[in-house]
Structure 1
Amino acid sequence: MPVDAPPPRIRSDDPASFAASVLRDRHPAIVARVLADLPLPAAARDGLAGLLQDPTVTPLPRDAHDHEDWDRWGEPYFGQSMFEVPFLWAENYFYRRLLHATGYHEPGPWRGIDPFGPQKAADLPGEDELRAVQESGDALLHLPEDEQASALVAAALWGNRADLGFQLAHGLAQAQADLVADDTELLWKRLAGGGTVCVVADNAGRELLPDLVLIDFLLRAGRVRRVELHVKPAPYFVSDALTADVLAELRRFPADSAIGRRLWAALRAGTLELVTDPFYCAPLEFAQLPAGLAARFGAATLTILKGDLNYRRLVGDRSWAPETSFADVTGYFPGPVAALRTVKSDVVVGLAAGVEERLPASWRTSGAFAMVQVRG
């Protein structure tokens, strides 16, 4: 399908669709978990209940710090059901309303309290796991650098599915077999010339751990001079990484962990920089980047976007034909860009002809397949 005539945006008005199941089934489960994890006051509980009872898109309260932005973004959709508006927009709206209900941005005792904090804490790797990572990382040093690189990209790509002890001698072949698009070779060509690499994070917890180890490798091996790790400015999509989540993970490394010490030192020295922007919690796609982020990405040797949500924001949350060119769809992006994504939603571009016909019917939402795609 031509990029200059893009297909419709995905919506949730088909009850049998994956998008509808997220709003209908996943969102109530998320609210129930927040209510179970936190002793929220009655007003917060009522606000969360109301969010589920009435799916109508309405303006944020006038005292919300960002109500003017949401007035502008929501103006085409006010009065409609979340099931009737673009799916990506509806998801973002749900999480913004959830943060308002729990008082995250509002003055008071619950200001700044991550409603997903208990879930994230439960997913932090333990000391034994981190020691295994260090030991396996040390073992990787004896492999050729290209084998180290392949193993670390596989771990960063698969997240929770990857063996976080990096026992990849047994799992790497299967991980590669489940790649439906694989530009890994081009990825490493882009990561051979120094400069600055932007890594736009996805999840915290165990999925963040291989990202941090990959960043350590890039700096230690001299593949890059600097890394910017971009994180969310507020809790979003349950497990998305914040600055606090990165620091919590680094603090869990044992005191004698060389990886932990190097990453901490890199943050102090500025060769690893944490970056955030309000854009990351806006119902927008990367085609609508603010000038500041566009300048950062334009100046970078490569921007690596992790995860399914960032992929949807990169290519557009639309019903693309799967053979649509990834390079064409992402041609607007201000610099070279790579997507490392475990496929967990309907949006797909860049497949070779005939690939989808060989995959199971549920492959787009099963989390069993992945993509490494590069433009630049």
Structure 2
Amino acid sequence: MMCEKMAEEEEEDGRPEVPDYLSAKYTGSFAYLTVTDRLPRILTKAIDTVHRHKDIFFEEHGQEGVEAEKRAIFLMSKLRNELQTDKPVIPLTDGLPDADQWNKYLERQQARLDTEENPSWFKSSWLYMECYMYRRIYESLQLNPPMCDFDVFSESKIQSFFESQQAIITICTYLQELKEKIEAFKDTQLKAELLLLLQVALWGNRCDLSISAGQENAQKFNPLTSLESLKPFILIDDSEFVWELLVNNKKNKTTETVRTRVDIVLDNSGFELVTDLILADFLITSRLADEIHFHGKSIPWFVSDTTKRDFDWTLKKMQTANHMRMSRSGVVWENNVKKGVWIYHDHPYWTLPHEFCDMSLVAGDLYAELQKSNLIFFKGDLNYRKLTGDRKWSYTVSFDTALRGFQPAPLCSLRTLKADIQVGLKPGQGEQLAVSDPEWMTSGRYAIIQFSNPCQI
């Protein structure tokens, strides 16, 4: 694999040695707590969801639906047992287009170990095993038609959206009022609004159902009133670089045919997705961008991650909302999609276990697509883990170093911390935080707006 080869070269040329993966083998780590507690709870909830829909499966598909439900529950229960007893990872058998990539990845992991021991839940990379669990949940349904299209996480995502509705109304109202006067804004005002909406999108990332193991996790208060008090919790704030890049692109356009493209690699559906759409709307309205490309997941993933179905459902619910500000936003957003100003992508690479420094080798077409962007926002914790390889980096290692060659375009991570990895901090900053707040890396209380530009390396 490219990243493993790079690790050897980095050790030889004197650059920082690439550390080990985060893993449940480190007892007491957040990875360990995830594998022992959170993942089994997510599986149990998925099994319960399938069982509760037994009557619906019967109504729609007769006895065939009931038998499919039983087999799917059996496979997910087996998966839970494998996880809890640290069984070896087994190949996928559903024959879907990505199964071969998954099985090749397993073979490479086996080769890396150089022992009789196979990759397993408590010994292998946490990133790999967590991704593998969601892919196996999906396999359990794919092997049991007519249940293939059933999303075991859909109910939780829908509930999270409706429980956040008052907060959604608040930010939609703010956006609509902002757009009514934006034409008269000077750069200083545009900059202030961009930085504010970046923070709204940043803190929207706290609504994460995979971290809460599918339990209620919605935005129930006005997100705008808390922004000032949350600023001290942004450990790295590179939003000035984001502004400079976008405003310079806007000023330096040579012709009307030159288009500024911004990509947003999405994380959670529900409230967070709406904050991303709000940001995208502002970028288009302010002419800081001419087109927005959204990247979501091709299958249900990490409980609340955005799929095409979630994206389309959200636009529909926004359009048909009873509140005028919500519905007006939904109509504008649907028109952006129809006009090709907003484009949705769901490349299968986003639901493979690879860290992103493998992308140019494994998914060259996706890497080439991202190279067309002027700026890529990576939302959330999982994307940050894949950007940095989910490794035990020193706090002070630079973001560029941790990216290990992944530089398709200028990029910015918007992330609330929910995994024990963070790079780019000042000397002593991480240690001080560990003393004042032992859970600072995993609680979602802290956040980063972290920027990298390949042109400046």
What TM-score do the two structures reach when normalised by structure 2? 0.77
Alignment of 1:141-160 (within 5 A): 141=179, 144-159=189-204
Looking at structure 2, the residues matched to 367 and 310 of structure 1 have their Cα atoms a distance apart, in angstroms, of 15
Q: CA deviation at 1:21?
A: 1.0
The answer to whether the 8 A contact 1:219-1:225 is kept is yes
User: Counterpart of 2:371 in 1: which secondary structure?
Assistant: helix
Q: Corresponding residue for 1:9?
A: 21
Alignment partners' CA distance in 1, 2:280 and 2:431 = 36
RMSD over aligned CA atoms reads 2.2
Matching residue within 211, 230, 233 for 2:276: 211
Alignment of 1:106-117 (within 5 A): 106=143, 108-117=145-154
Residues 220-240 of structure 1, C-alpha deviations (whole Å, 9 max, x = no match): 111101100000000111111
CA distance in 1, matches of 2:202, 2:397: 22
Task: Tell me the CA shift for residue 77 of structure 1.
Answer: 4.2
- 5+ residue gaps, structure 1, are none
Structure 2 Cα separation of the partners of residues 253 and 246 of structure 1: 11
Q: 1:83 aligns with which of 108, 117, 122?
A: 122
Distance 2:170 2:237 in 1: 28
2:239 counterpart (168, 176, 184)? 184
The question of whether the paired residues in 1 share the 8 Å contact of 2:236 and 2:450 is answered with: yes
Point out the more displaced range, 119-128 or 188-197: 119-128
Aligned counterparts, 1:38-77, within 5 A: 38-39=50-51, 41-54=69-82, 55-61=87-93, 63-77=95-109
1:321 alignment partner, one of 389, 394, 400? 394
Secondary structure of 2:226's aligned partner: helix
Q: Which amino acid aligns with 1:347?
A: I
Larger radius of gyration: 2
Deviations 1:199-252 (A, max 9, x none): 000000111111110011001111101100000000111111001111111112
Q: CA deviation at 1:358?
A: 2.7
Provide the C-alpha distance between the structure 1 equivalents of 2:95 and 2:169, rounded to a whole number of angstroms: 47
C-alpha contact 2:395 2:424 (8 A) present in aligned 1: yes
Q: Which residue of 1 aligns with 2:356?
A: 286
The Cα shift of 1:316 comes to: 1.2
CA distance in 2, matches of 1:286, 1:65: 20
Mean Cα displacement is larger for which, 69-78 or 360-369? 69-78
Q: Is the alpha carbon distance of 1:160 and 1:120 closer, same or farther for their aligned partners in structure 2, counting shifts above 3 Å?
A: same
Between the aligned partners of 1:244 and 1:208, the Cα distance in structure 2 is 13
**Per-residue deviation, 1:254:** 4.5
Which AA in structure 1 matches 2:416?
T
Q: Label 1:90 to 1:161 Cα distance change in 2 as closer, same or farther (>3 A).
A: closer
TM-fit CA distance, 1:137: 2.0
3-state DSSP class of the match of 2:292?
Answer: strand
- Range that drifts further, 336-345 or 71-80: 71-80
State the one-letter code of the partner of 1:369.
Y
Alignment size in residue pairs = 373
Report if aligned partners of 1:233, 1:276 keep a CA contact under 8 Å in 2.
Answer: yes
After alignment, is 14-23 or 207-216 more displaced? 14-23
* Within-5 A mapping of 1:291-310: 291-310=364-383
Checking the alignment, whether the CA contact within 8 Å between 1:157 and 1:342 is kept in structure 2 is yes
Q: State the match for 1:355 in structure 2.
A: 429
Instruction: Report the Cα distance in structure 2 between the residues aligned to 1:123 and 1:155, rounded to whole angstroms.
Output: 17
Aligned pairs for 1:156-175 (under 5 A) are 156-159=201-204, 168=224, 170-175=225-230
The TM-score with structure 1 as length reference comes to 0.93
Cα gap change, 1:160 to 1:319, in 2 (>3 Å): closer
CA distance in 2, matches of 1:260, 1:66: 33
Q: 1:42 to 1:106 in 2, by over 3 A?
A: closer
Deviates more, 1:254-263 or 1:271-280: 254-263
Aligned to 1:275: 345
The verdict on how the C-alpha distance between 1:355 and 1:276 changes in structure 2, with shifts beyond 3 A counting, is same
Match of 2:39 in 1: 27
For 2:211, the equivalent position in structure 1 comes to none
> For residue 311 of structure 1, what is the amino acid of its counterpart?
Y
1:253 aligns to what? 318
| Worse-matched range after superposition: 88-97 or 325-334 | 325-334
Look up the match of 2:444.
367
Residue 344 of structure 1 corresponds to 418
* Structure 2 match to 1:123: 160
Return the structure number with greater helix share.
2
Answer with 113-122 or 248-257: which moved more: 248-257
For the residues of structure 2 that align with 1:148 and 1:372, how far apart are their CA atoms? 16
Go from structure 1 to structure 2 and tell me whether the alpha carbon gap of 1:350 and 1:232 turns closer, same or farther (over 3 Å shift). Answer: same
* Cα distance in 2 between the residues matched to 1:213 and 1:250: 12
Post-superposition CA distance 1:293-329 (Å, at most 9, x none): 1112212101110000000111111100000011233
Distance 2:440 2:223 in 1: 26
Conserved? CA contact 2:297–2:307, under 8 Å: yes
Structure 2 distance, partners of 1:161, 1:280, is 20
Contact 2:98 2:348 survives alignment (8 Å):
no
Question: Cα offset for 1:161?
Answer: 5.1
Structure 1: how far apart are the matches of 2:316 and 2:398?
42
Distance 1:62 1:158, change over 3 A: closer
- Over residues 89-138 of structure 1, what are the superposed CA-to-partner deviations in whole Å (9 max), with x where a residue is unaligned? 1111111111112x1x3461111211111111111136655433322223
Question: How far apart, CA to CA, are the structure 1 residues paired with 2:281 and 2:174?
Answer: 14
Deviations 1:168-203 (A, max 9, x none): 2x3121221100111011111122225111100000
Partners of 1:128 and 1:83 lie apart in 2 by 41
